[in-house]
Amino acid sequence: MFYKLNLLHGPDHTIMGMPSFSVSMLLVVLSLLNFISEAQRRPGQRRPGYPFLYCPEETTFTPISTYQSNLHDLLSSLTSNANRESGYYNTTAGQSPGTTIYGLFLCRGDLTPEKCQKCVATATKEIIEKYCPVGKVAVIWYNECMLRYSNQSFLSTMDDTPIRYQHHPQDMPDRFTQLLGTTLNDTISRALNAPSGAKKFATKEANYTDLQTLYTLVQCIPVLLSSDCNICLRRLKAFLPVCCNGKQGAVAMNSSCSIRYEIYPFYQLQVDPSRAPLLAPPAPGNVPRPKG
Ligand SMILES: *[C@@H]1O[C@H](CO)[C@@H](O)[C@H](O)[C@H]1NC(C)=O
Ligand SMILES: *[C@@H]1O[C@H](CO)[C@@H](O)[C@H](O)[C@H]1NC(C)=O
Ligand SMILES: *[C@@H]1O[C@H](CO)[C@@H](O)[C@H](O)[C@H]1NC(C)=O
Ligand SMILES: *[C@@H]1O[C@H](CO)[C@@H](O)[C@H](O)[C@H]1NC(C)=O
Ligand SMILES: *[C@@H]1O[C@H](CO)[C@@H](O)[C@H](O)[C@H]1NC(C)=O
């Protein structure tokens, strides 16, 4: 459920064997670019293996208020709808102006409904108990699901939730980065070509060496138009060389889309649809006819 400890994210993180000067250099860069929220920057709030968090301090609610009880309603509604096949659900709680809350969750596309529900149950519990107890606006990302709520409607699906990212400390040769580029292009195309109503999700593997395989995963929230999903994933892909150039594994995401790659399988391997037709007889009319 949590990110592997060997991935790097957050100021409190230390990497075994990595010289400390480069860690601090990286942290300076991270702070400058402001990719880490205020909440994560507070000491003690962010530890390795913890989920990614967006919890802006300027939007808080008063405890024991209508907003708080609406939030509880929202979270329990999300949890009880988390066993859906789609792995996605959005809802609202509260009617009166100023206390309405909009919320959604998205599970990683390969999860079973049972695992999805487990992740959402953890997220709804931990967000208010541990991570963002009085936040009106919050996003929390685990390995297997994302939970988001706000006092503002998500009708404009494009907003400025910052990109979160994390990467493995190990560098790989250029050839790996090239393979990553071509593979991710295919993975993105697959996600965009998913039938309407299906998850906007795809995975793809590629052989790097005889012994090493590259595993890639991309996903958009299903309500995004394919064109917006494409924009979102392309921007994240373009961001990878900025945050995580040449790294052996990385994840980058915001509340609309996510990209992750590793050299170990971190998702349930999918049946490759492009290989299945090879086993089926050719459709009549498409059979190449021998000339003469
Ligand atoms: C959401 O809450 C913030 C901070 O309390 C407030 O400034 C903003 O107007 C609220 N938005 C809506 C749509 O109620
Ligand atoms: C929320 O769900 C409704 C259908 O129940 C859908 O029409 C709408 O686009 C969704 N909105 C978001 C932001 O997911
Ligand atoms: C997510 O990031 C993409 C790429 O930067 C951006 O187009 C999109 O608006 C962002 N979405 C949210 C909800 O922040
Ligand atoms: C990936 O696709 C983009 C946009 O279609 C293209 O510009 C780029 O050259 C492709 N990259 C690779 C490595 O194929
Ligand atoms: C990787 O190589 C193995 C055999 O060496 C092959 O069976 C498999 O199809 C290849 N996988 C991909 C994704 O090309």
Give me the CATH number covering residue 234: 3.30.430.20
> What single DSSP character describes residue 171?
B
End residue of a domain, out of 150, 175, 193:
150
Flag the least confident range among 87-96, 158-167, 221-230.
158-167
Does residue 111 sit within a domain?
yes
Does residue 70 sit within a domain?
yes
CA distance 82 to 111: 11
Does residue 159 sit within a domain?
no
Identify which ligand lies nearest to the alpha carbon of 155.
Answer: 2
Predicted confidence band of residue 48 (pLDDT cuts 50, 70, 90): low
Does residue 90 sit within a domain?
yes
pLDDT at 117 over 50: yes
State the average pLDDT over residues 17-31: 37
Q: Which of 62, 57, 48, 51 is nearest to 126 (CA)?
A: 51
Cα(63) to ligand 5 centroid in Å equals 56
Same domain for 136 and 232? no
Q: Please list, in sequence order, all residues whose beta carbon lies within 8 angstroms of the beta carbon of residue 122, skipping any fewer than 6 positions away.
A: 1, 142
Same domain for 137 and 191? no
Residue 142 tokens read as 């685990």
Residue 207 Cβ contacting ligand 5 at under 6 Å: yes
Which SS3 state, helix, strand or coil, does residue 277 take?
A: helix
The domain in which residue 189 lies consists of 164-269
Number of domains in the chain: 2
pLDDT at 210 over 90: yes
pLDDT at 106 over 90: yes
Same domain for 253 and 174? yes
Pocket of ligand 1 (CB under 6 A): 59, 98, 136, 151-152
pLDDT at 1 over 50: no
Q: Give the model's pLDDT for residue 280.
A: 42
pLDDT at 269 over 60: yes
> What single DSSP character describes residue 162?
P
State the average pLDDT over residues 40-51: 47
Residue 220 tokens read as 């958009």
Does residue 210 sit within a domain?
yes
**Nearest atom of ligand 5 to the alpha carbon of 272:** 13
Same domain for 102 and 146? yes
| Measured CA distances, 126 to 60, 75, 141, 142 (Å) | 17, 11, 11, 11
Same domain for 172 and 233? yes
Cα(27) to ligand 1 centroid in Å equals 31
Among 35-44, 94-103, 152-161, 210-219, the range with the most confident prediction by mean pLDDT is 210-219
pLDDT at 13 over 60: no
Does residue 206 sit within a domain?
yes
State the average pLDDT over residues 247-264: 94
Task: Give the pairing type, strands 145-150 and 101-107.
Answer: antiparallel
Does residue 290 sit within a domain?
no
Residue 181 Cβ contacting ligand 4 at under 6 Å: yes
Give tens-digit pLDDT for 51-66. Answer: 899 898 888 888 888 9
End residue of a domain, out of 95, 122, 150:
150
State the average pLDDT over residues 35-53: 49
Predicted confidence band of residue 41 (pLDDT cuts 50, 70, 90): very low
CB 258 within 8 A of CB 219: yes
Q: Give the model's pLDDT for residue 195.
A: 87
Q: Which of 74, 121, 120, 104 is nearest to 220 (CA)?
A: 104
Cα(25) to ligand 2 centroid in Å equals 42
Calculated CA dihedral for residues 193, 194, 196, 201, nearest 10 degrees:
-120
pLDDT mean across residues, the chain = 79
Q: Which of 80, 87, 149 is nearest to 115 (CA)?
A: 87
Q: Give the model's pLDDT for residue 98.
A: 83
Percent of the chain with pLDDT over 70: 73
Same domain for 63 and 144? yes
Same domain for 173 and 221? yes
CA distance 104 to 102: 7
Question: Which among 207, 210, 214 is the best mutation to test ligand 5's pocket, defined by most ligand atoms within 8 Å of the CB?
Answer: 207
pLDDT at 228 over 70: yes
Give tens-digit pLDDT for 124-138. Answer: 999 999 999 999 999
Instruction: Tell me which of 233 and 29 has the higher pLDDT.
Output: 233
Identify which ligand lies nearest to the alpha carbon of 278.
Answer: 5
Question: Which among 178, 185, 188, 204 is the best mutation to test ligand 4's pocket, defined by most ligand atoms within 8 Å of the CB?
Answer: 185
CA distance 199 to 247: 28
pTM of the model: 0.79
* Tokens 């990302």 -> residue: 141
CA distance 43 to 282: 62
Helix (H) or strand (E) holding 252: strand 250-253
